[in-house]
Structure 1
């Protein structure tokens, strides 16, 4: 997403080094992992009725943002690298960067999806905190319709924030960098980084502010869970039956905590790179690892769900082992009206169906 000014001049090179081939192979592997993992997540959400909840909608939003990275951002990087290898252009030189119209699409998409991810993780933490701290008020406070509006708001704000540098200064543009293998925000060649370049600090400031709030909310949630577990062990089944937490509530809170830690670990290198770029440092090799560690976060979520969320595991099993019904076994539309409707239509019905107390 971010980078220093660079020259569009490229130099011809000898046959590609094995390291460049390995990086290209890693990109292709990442495309497959991101697409397969997030498509599975979305299919589980659409087909499994137990995921048509506020938490399920937020997780689907997170999977959609990650899927956009795997379908648009990473394939463009692979295309540029394959084209460069085929034409014999130098791959490791920081002077080999170029601007194209596609960068003005993939660059903001990558930045916007990154902001959507951290915003969604923050909303997931808030949802779990309400479910743990105020279980009796959860249905009244967290409704599906409110969740959908918050998701739409988070997407709008995230992509607006992604184009703020381009709108705030005519000196900032987008170029494909041979160092990071990504389209990054840069100054045109020959223009020194001046005060408008500091607008790039808005990105790490936004993410770290939300991450700090997310960690604080998770700490409050886990403190409440620990106190509840202590009270339950001390008093047994007699302890506050009306405010009892289910095993799935506790597991979901743990899963979101792990998601928060994973995103923080993947975002920290890119934040260091942004601050260094603003200060005038050029870290070519480090920029590649910083950008692609953040990109790899797009395929971690499904792995975390598979390892920690029993409901997701059950949904995956049902997705891949659902028995095929015979014509005589297929339920009639009069019995199950939603069974004949497409999954997307069923989800829309769930969203606009009046909330029950």
Structure 2
């Protein structure tokens, strides 16, 4: 719980100087990977007219959430761990929680990480719904999915996600934020030895909300991919007429649906350990080593999206390659 010192907690990543150095190197590399990958995504989406679509806006929203993790969340952990290695003692603020400090960095970083995670989940859900409409109701896609409606949904998802992220602090005096010596991140924690039922219920809002959305996302993906499979089988046996072609999802829609399906699987796999940890934590299990891997597996997901887009979307890959070649040409020395 709160107030645990560095000396009493030795995780598998931080018990020796070598492990600490490797951990910091991993964090620094992760920052660069997150910043580079999501900057490429934003450059492709905003710099290419083809991607000025509802799907493109949703991918941009997801990239912004991931960028925030790389800009705010991970650097604080790097600062705390580098300070520990150089000075031989952890920063004073890491030994206190947000209830006992006038200004605590975790008051900002904790909700930021939670809010961005929730934004990612809701955005993946919206991407899945958008692709399912394109696959199941291709004739209604343009009228149902508009850029204005998508923009409104993106704004609502950010507002709702960050409201949920700050709700534990707003609605419970027993919950505080601390720099956890196990996870090496700012986490929600209890300020009391006993676990009040109200605080228990509030903390369980996160896995309940997340798994509800992820479960719905998986179901929608299964329906969409099943429809795509049936369409592929029919296409092998039937010669499509012009009328039939107009009623079928385009090849681009099918590829995009498969890409979003891969995105969903990747996020679900990275989020599941943290959800298991939260549930285990509220019933009294500390799981110190597991918490480190759970939180950082989730964090690494912030740099995977651009790879998934590049593998699954040929146009995205081609445009990203063009941007890279263009930047190389501009940076080349002039004769």
For normalisation by structure 2, the TM-score amounts to 0.89
Matched, 1:98 2:102: no
Matched, 1:258 2:262: yes
> What does residue 133 of structure 1 align with?
136
Cα 1:184–1:236, aligned 2, differ >3 Å: closer, same or farther?
A: same
Q: Secondary structure at the match of 1:244?
A: coil
Aligned counterpart in structure 1 of residue 3 of structure 2, from 1, 7, 10: 7
> What does residue 288 of structure 2 align with?
284
Work out the CA distance in 1 between the residues paired with 2:228 and 2:7.
59
Q: Confirm or deny: 8 A CA contact 1:47 1:319 kept in the other structure.
A: no
Q: Confirm or deny: 8 A CA contact 2:135 2:227 kept in the other structure.
A: yes
Give the CA RMSD over aligned residues.
2.2
> What does residue 345 of structure 1 align with?
none
Matched, 1:231 2:234: yes
Aligned length: 316
> What does residue 72 of structure 2 align with?
72
Work out the CA distance in 2 between the residues paired with 1:140 and 1:10.
57
> What does residue 35 of structure 2 align with?
35
Relative to total residues, which structure has the larger helix share, 1 or 2? 2
Matched, 1:193 2:191: no
Q: Secondary structure at the match of 1:173?
A: strand
- 1:160-171 → structure 2 map (5 Å cutoff): 160-171=163-174
Structure 1 residue 58, shift from structure 2 partner:
0.2
Structure 1 residue 191, shift from structure 2 partner:
3.2
Work out the CA distance in 2 between the residues paired with 1:152 and 1:242.
33
Structure 1 unpaired stretches of 5+:
326-357
Where do 4+ consecutive residues of structure 1 move more than 6 Å? Answer: 12-15
Q: Confirm or deny: 8 A CA contact 1:132 1:249 kept in the other structure.
A: yes
1:190-237 CA distances to partner (integer Å, 9 max, x unpaired)? 532221231111100000000110011111111111121122111123
> What does residue 113 of structure 1 align with?
116
> What does residue 274 of structure 2 align with?
270
Work out the CA distance in 1 between the residues paired with 2:258 and 2:62.
17
Work out the CA distance in 2 between the residues paired with 1:47 and 1:23.
35
Q: Confirm or deny: 8 A CA contact 2:38 2:66 kept in the other structure.
A: yes
Work out the CA distance in 2 between the residues paired with 1:200 and 1:81.
27
Q: Confirm or deny: 8 A CA contact 1:34 1:70 kept in the other structure.
A: yes
- 1:292-311 → structure 2 map (5 Å cutoff): 292-311=296-315
* Structure 1, 144-153 or 12-21: larger mean CA deviation: 12-21
Structure 1 residue 125, shift from structure 2 partner:
0.4
* Structure 1, 158-167 or 230-239: larger mean CA deviation: 230-239
Q: Confirm or deny: 8 A CA contact 2:58 2:154 kept in the other structure.
A: yes
Cα 1:292–1:10, aligned 2, differ >3 Å: closer, same or farther?
A: closer
* Structure 1, 14-23 or 110-119: larger mean CA deviation: 14-23
> What does residue 205 of structure 2 align with?
202
Q: Confirm or deny: 8 A CA contact 1:62 1:117 kept in the other structure.
A: yes
Work out the CA distance in 2 between the residues paired with 1:106 and 1:15.
25
Q: Confirm or deny: 8 A CA contact 1:197 1:278 kept in the other structure.
A: no
Work out the CA distance in 1 between the residues paired with 2:229 and 2:123.
25
Cα 1:10–1:217, aligned 2, differ >3 Å: closer, same or farther?
A: closer
1:225-270 CA distances to partner (integer Å, 9 max, x unpaired)? 1121122111123271211322211110110000100011001110
> What does residue 329 of structure 1 align with?
none
For normalisation by structure 1, the TM-score amounts to 0.84
